[in-house]
Amino acid sequence: MLETIIDARRHDLGDGFEVGRALPNRVRRMVGPFVFLDHMGPLEMAAPIPKNRDVRPHPHIGLSTVTYLFEGQMTHRDSLGCEQVITPGALNWMTSGRGITHSERFDGMREKGGLIEGVQAWVAMPAENETDAPSFDHHDAAVLPAFTDAGISGRVIAGSAYGLTSPARTFSPLFYVHADMPAQSRLALPTDYPERAVFVAAGEIEVAGQRCHADQLLVFSKGAASTLLATQPSRVMLLGGESVGPRYIWWNFVASRRDLIEAAAADWKTGRMPLPPLDHDEFIPLPDMPRLAERQ
């Protein structure tokens, strides 16, 4: 059963590069371990792409960033020394653990411009893992398990769904799936996870007679069998899993304990978190830090 519908809020990352932010939201902070969901673009970027549209080096703790593109190209650099070009259908899974810094740049598109579109999610780590050493993993599109059914083409990005399991290393039970649905096709939502949602990236889908459009996140009640009907060609992201418990969320930090966020903020402000060795000439400064709200 459809429990709630969240309209993504437009958020400008700089120089007119807007994203639709579906999580966190005042009516629903998390879905399973997913604590953040941004729809990047679609945006046609004219050449040359200005550098102030890049995401400069910044820190994370307590989460994994999950970057997945439909169109375009980005370059990831992090404080472990990793540099990786992200292309459509590939998965970038960066685990921050106790602390990592990274940047996201449009180097490969800068001179020619072009269309950029994708989704970035944050997955909160279980409390027993949130202070683990950071790590970085990249999986090309060809190694992510794909499925087809009645014209639908899909890919299991992370976790397990539809009898398939992604090679991505996760820390708690979850599923994250990309599916392209032709008009009038139907797709059943996995039922073996307690928290589930669907993000409509493009097109329009119908659930139990209710039509839902692009940039909406549909949250479903526990255990209920639900089927998506594409009323027009549509692109959807299916996500969810088991809860890891409430989290403090502030700026780029996610943690089960307030003191972990306060310590990370102090480390970033005083320069104790190293910058990416391949991208260390600038960074995003720490914003003013208000009193942290209770965990949600």
Peptide bond into 42 cis (omega under 30): yes
- Per-residue pLDDT of 98-145, as tens digits, reads 999 999 999 999 999 999 999 999 999 999 999 999 999 999 999 999
State yes or no: pLDDT of 171 exceeds 70: yes
Q: Give the separation between CA 20 and CA 165, rounded to whole angstroms.
A: 28
Q: How many CA atoms lie within 13 A of 192 on its CB side?
A: 8
Q: Give the separation between CA 237 and CA 120, rounded to whole angstroms.
A: 11
Q: What pLDDT, on the 0 to 100 scale, is given for residue 13?
A: 72
State yes or no: pLDDT of 47 exceeds 60: yes
Q: Give the separation between CA 58 and CA 191, rounded to whole angstroms.
A: 37
14-37 burial: b if 16+ Cβ within 10 Å, else e: eeebebbbbbbbeebebbbbbbbb
Amino acid type, 87 = T
138 or 12, which is more confident? Answer: 138
Q: What pLDDT, on the 0 to 100 scale, is given for residue 10?
A: 87
- Per-residue pLDDT of 245-289, as tens digits, reads 999 999 999 999 999 999 999 999 999 999 999 999 999 999 987
Q: Give the separation between CA 149 and CA 152, rounded to whole angstroms.
A: 5
State yes or no: pLDDT of 296 exceeds 60: no
Average pLDDT, the chain: 95
State yes or no: pLDDT of 156 exceeds 80: yes
In 3D space, the residue among 93, 51, 103, 120 whose CA is nearest the CA of residue 275 turns out to be 103
Q: Tell me phi and psi for residue 145, to 5 degrees.
A: -65, 130
Q: Count the residues in the chain.
A: 296
**Mean predicted confidence (pLDDT) in 168-195:** 97
DSSP state of 108: G
State yes or no: pLDDT of 167 exceeds 70: yes
**Mean predicted confidence (pLDDT) in 142-162:** 97
Enter the tokens of residue 94: 């960066």
Q: Which of 11-15, 128-132, 153-157, 175-179 has the lowest mean pLDDT?
A: 11-15
Q: What pLDDT, on the 0 to 100 scale, is given for residue 56?
A: 96
